[in-house]
Structure 1
Amino acid sequence: MGRRAGPRRASAHDGELGAAVARAQQGDETAFATAYRLVHPGLLGYLRGLVGDAAETVAAEAWQEIARDLGRFRGDGAGFRGWTAAIARRRALATPRHPEAGQREAASGPEPDGPESDGPESDGPESDGPEPGEPESAERALELIAGLPRDQAEAVLLRVVVGLDGPAAARVLGERPGAVRSSAHQGLRRLAARLDARGNGEDRSGTRDKRRR
Structure 2
Amino acid sequence: MAGQLSDDELSAALAGEPSGFSAVYAIISPAVLGYFRARGVEDAEGLTQDVFVDVLPKLAKVTGGHRGLRTFIFSVAHARLVDHHRRAERTPYLAEYDPLDDTRCAPSAEDEALGSLGGMTDSLSRLNDEQREVLVLRIVADLSIEQVAGIMDKSPGAIKQLQRRGLSALRDLVTEKDHAAS
For Structure 1 versus Structure 2, the TM-score category normalised by the shorter chain is 0.3 to 0.5
The structure with more helix, counted as a fraction of residues: 2
TM-score (norm 2): 0.43
In our comparison, the structure showing a higher alpha carbon Rg is 2
